[in-house]
Structure 1
């Protein structure tokens, strides 16, 4: 009986293609590397030869020649728990991967949960294993942002930390959107409106709080703002409990994400408050959390998939020689029964 090794077909080489096409190896290499100065007849003969002998280009070898890995890293600077819980991160990832796949690039997903992760990623970025990066949830003064800048990597950020300088980003106008949905909540007749404000070390969290303050103007009461660390369901629960202890007469809540709002609604309903009868609640994201709430959550639509795609396309344009540029997408209010 023949062994597997004995029956395995030999992999076709550039030399096989050259012999079949009747051209030199150098001519085949120029075609494979996208170079000019090859006649149409020679190209046609080489294409036919590739199909006939079953030649598959060795990407690893080609990357050594063109100094490209054909890979882009997507860095998520969030705890592991939030990476699993937050549907926006998944949507950003899918949008980015779709754009990269269409350009024949591979996406490498990298998570920074701790200072050790940040150090490890910084060393990884300097190793030439990826051509560019998409960064999600960067903070002001983020060491990953600094490493990307120092290495001169083509990069695009999802969000807009204030220290990005001229770096490319894809973002929404968090401040105006927060102002708009808070104003609409106030317009339903609420008089004691508070906020559960998450992730204030990021531009998204800080801008949503600023929009809330804008909407309330002279009626803003800082005691009705509860700060929490993350855009998470459990932090929303903890924030709502703290607000109820401090202001049991609260009748409106702007939660800075849908997951936070869902946690707040669970606490309100467990305490005997009806929604929207006793307390109106609004969120931010228009994620799957919004429709899982009962009643369905009024929120701001964040186009997470489109943000991921826009960031990936920005990196690809930079790899092709274009200058970095900002991209700002629309984020309309979606009004439902929770307010």
Structure 2
């Protein structure tokens, strides 16, 4: 740092050329990994780069190519849930693994309000990212609409019902919810309720529909409570409400593991034994499932693989070899533990 506090001068390609005793063209070919450079020249240029502290000006390169080499990951959840939900973290890590292999930078964009939506939409229009991956898009989501209008390469994790023409990756929430509810019924439960959530999204709607399908004529809408978010607090409030409506309840399907964790704590406080008095199942097989006591029976969804495939879909569009609007569903499985 200079004595007067100003920024130090950035080393340039001319400094590297002068130090190496090479032409600027030779230095440029080494930096860009181009052929027709002798081993001696390459060694000299690399040594000069290290000595003068040259760092490639990525911003200038991006300006010339009109590419940012960044992909936005848009998470449409409150800040608190972004930190609480292990699935979001797993999707993020899967996405980043694929992007880093292709020398793209992941930019996380969290939307917690309408103001955030406006700000992020303007950011996307500014060309700061080459593509986007959207998690938790709702019906009528302004960000999804903005992405559709801008025409930027994009992929959804999940599938908003009112958007078409943008690729998505997801799971069959309906079939998975039906399968685990049927497994719960098979433990001889006769009065089963559900703590539903996120009914403004395909995942929440489909999990409720799968639950209803498994119960058939035994489905009782009075035994369904719903909340906006897949959150622990939804499980706490939902379980208290279900017990108030039906004290003899003997089974619960929670729409996520975090909801199930809240429900289990309320059952413990209410002196209901799990699974002897009430069987509980969740959805996700996230870190919540193993932290629960007893360990949670749940649906395992491949969150890391969802992030990886979404990233691959965006990169494919950037290469010009993807089919717009094509959807891919990944497999789930039931993990049966002690809670049911």
- TM-score where L is the length of structure 2: 0.90
Q: Give 1:78 deviation, angstroms.
A: 0.5
Match of 1:256 in 2: 255
Q: Give 1:110 deviation, angstroms.
A: 0.8
Residue 78 (str. 1) matches residue 73 (str. 2): no
Residue 226 (str. 1) matches residue 225 (str. 2): yes
Cα distance change on mapping 1:12 and 1:116 into 2, 3 Å = closer
Cα distance change on mapping 1:269 and 1:31 into 2, 3 Å = same
Residue 52 (str. 1) matches residue 47 (str. 2): yes
Q: Which 4+ stretches in 1 moved above 3 angstroms?
A: 2-5, 8-25, 27-34, 42-50
Cα distance change on mapping 1:184 and 1:3 into 2, 3 Å = closer
Q: Deviations over 1:71-113 (max 9, x none)?
A: 1111110111111111111111111112111211111111100
Match of 1:337 in 2: 338
CA distance in 2: counterparts of 1:232 and 1:81, whole angstroms:
9
Aligned pairs for 1:222-301 (under 5 A) are 222-301=221-300
Q: How many residues align?
A: 331
User: Which structure 1 segments of 5+ residues have no match?
Assistant: none
Asked if 2 retains the 8 angstrom alpha-carbon contact of 1:77 and 1:137, the reply is yes
Cα distance change on mapping 1:74 and 1:3 into 2, 3 Å = closer
Q: Which moved more, 1:310-319 or 1:296-305?
A: 310-319
Asked if 1 retains the 8 angstrom alpha-carbon contact of 2:85 and 2:258, the reply is yes
CA distance in 2: counterparts of 1:83 and 1:72, whole angstroms:
18
CA distance in 2: counterparts of 1:43 and 1:131, whole angstroms:
35
Match of 1:133 in 2: 132
Asked if 2 retains the 8 angstrom alpha-carbon contact of 1:17 and 1:46, the reply is no
Q: Give 1:246 deviation, angstroms.
A: 0.9
Asked if 2 retains the 8 angstrom alpha-carbon contact of 1:21 and 1:46, the reply is no
CA distance in 1: counterparts of 2:2 and 2:22, whole angstroms:
34
Structure 2 SS opposite 1:213: helix
Structure 2 SS opposite 1:190: coil
CA distance in 2: counterparts of 1:43 and 1:63, whole angstroms:
28
CA distance in 2: counterparts of 1:9 and 1:144, whole angstroms:
40
Q: Give 1:61 deviation, angstroms.
A: 0.5
Structure 2 SS opposite 1:41: coil
User: Which structure 2 segments of 5+ residues have no match?
Assistant: none
Q: Deviations over 1:265-308 (max 9, x none)?
A: 11112111110001100000101111111110000011111211
Match of 1:116 in 2: 115
Cα distance change on mapping 1:153 and 1:45 into 2, 3 Å = farther
CA distance in 1: counterparts of 2:111 and 2:15, whole angstroms:
46
